C-alpha cells in the first residue's frame, strides 16, 4: 500500500472537536501515512483553547506543524506530492479565499496547490445557515475539484459522547480521503 502524505489545516471556525478527533484518528492510522503536515490559523488556536480548554494540538509528536505564513513548507509546492488536504473546520472566509485563488497564507496556498495538481481537497465547512455567497463559493471549489463535506454528524450509529458525534463526520472524511478504517457502516453487521 502506498502511504499517504496529508495536509491538515485548522481554521478559526467553531468545531475544534472535529480537528481533535481527526488528529486522534490519523495517529491511529499511522501505518497508512508517510507524513502529516499541519497548519493552524491564529484564530484556530484561540478557538481550540476556548472550546476544548487546552492546547493539546501541540502534543501530536508524529505530525509536523508549520507556521501559517511558512511558504517554505513542502506542501506549498506541488512537487512535494501531498495526496490530500483536509481543512477542518473550514471557515467560510478560508473557503472564499480558496474559491477565488487568493493565496495569502499557507492554508490557502496549500489548497491552491492541491487543486491545481488535481489532488484531493476536503473542506469540512462548519457554519449555518449558508448565505448565497457561501453556497456559490462551495460550488466554485467543487467545480475546481474540491469536496465539500459539511460538519453534519449522523446519529444512526447511536453516538454517546461528543467525540463519537464528531467521529461520525471524521469517519466520512477519512473515507473520502481513501483511508482504510473500521467505522460504522449503515446496515452492515458490526
C-alpha atoms less than 13 angstroms from C-alpha of 104 in its C-beta half-sphere: 9
Check residue 190 and give its pLDDT: 55
Peptide bond into 47 cis (omega under 30): no
Contact 108/91 with Cβ under 8 angstroms? Answer: no
Write down the residue that cell numbers 480537528 correspond to.
Answer: 19
The whole-angstrom separation of Cα 33 and Cα 91 is 26
Which pLDDT tens digit goes with each residue over 83-141? 999 999 999 999 999 999 999 999 999 999 999 999 999 999 999 999 999 999 999 99
End-to-end CA distance of the chain: 25
Check residue 185 and give its pLDDT: 76
Which pLDDT tens digit goes with each residue over 152-164? 999 998 999 999 9
Average pLDDT of the chain, as a whole number: 95
Check residue 173 and give its pLDDT: 97
> 81: phi > 0 → left, psi -120 to 50 → alpha, else beta; which?
left
Model confidence, pTM = 0.95
Q: Is the pLDDT of residue 40 over 80?
A: yes
Amino acid at each position: 500500500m502506498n502511504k499517504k502524505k496529508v495536509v491538515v489545516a485548522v481554521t478559526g471556525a467553531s468545531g475544534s472537536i472535529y480537528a481533535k478527533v481527526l488528529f486522534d484518528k490519523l495517529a491511529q492510522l499511522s501505518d497508512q501515512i508517510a507524513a502529516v503536515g499541519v497548519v493552524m490559523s491564529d484564530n484556530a488556536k484561540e478557538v481550540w483553547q476556548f472550546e476544548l480548554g487546552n492546547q493539546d494540538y501541540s502534543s501530536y509528536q508524529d505530525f509536523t506543524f508549520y507556521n501559517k505564513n511558512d511558504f517554505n513548507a513542502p506542501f506549498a509546492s506541488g512537487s512535494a506530492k501531498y495526496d490530500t488536504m483536509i481543512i477542518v473546520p473550514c471557515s467560510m472566509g478560508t473557503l472564499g479565499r480558496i474559491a477565488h485563488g487568493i493565496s495569502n497564507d499557507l492554508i490557502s496556498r496549500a489548497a491552491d496547490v492541491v487543486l491545481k495538481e488535481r489532488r484531493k481537497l476536503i473542506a469540512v465547512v462548519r457554519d449555518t445557515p449558508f448565505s448565497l455567497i457561501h453556497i456559490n463559493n462551495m460550488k466554485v471549489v467543487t467545480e475546481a475539484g474540491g469536496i465539500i463535506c459539511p460538519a453534519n454528524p449522523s446519529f444512526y450509529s447511536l453516538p454517546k459522547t461528543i467525540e463519537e458525534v464528531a467521529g461520525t463526520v471524521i469517519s466520512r472524511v477519512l473515507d473520502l480521503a481513501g483511508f482504510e478504517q473500521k467505522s460504522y457502516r449503515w446496515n452492515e453487521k458490526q
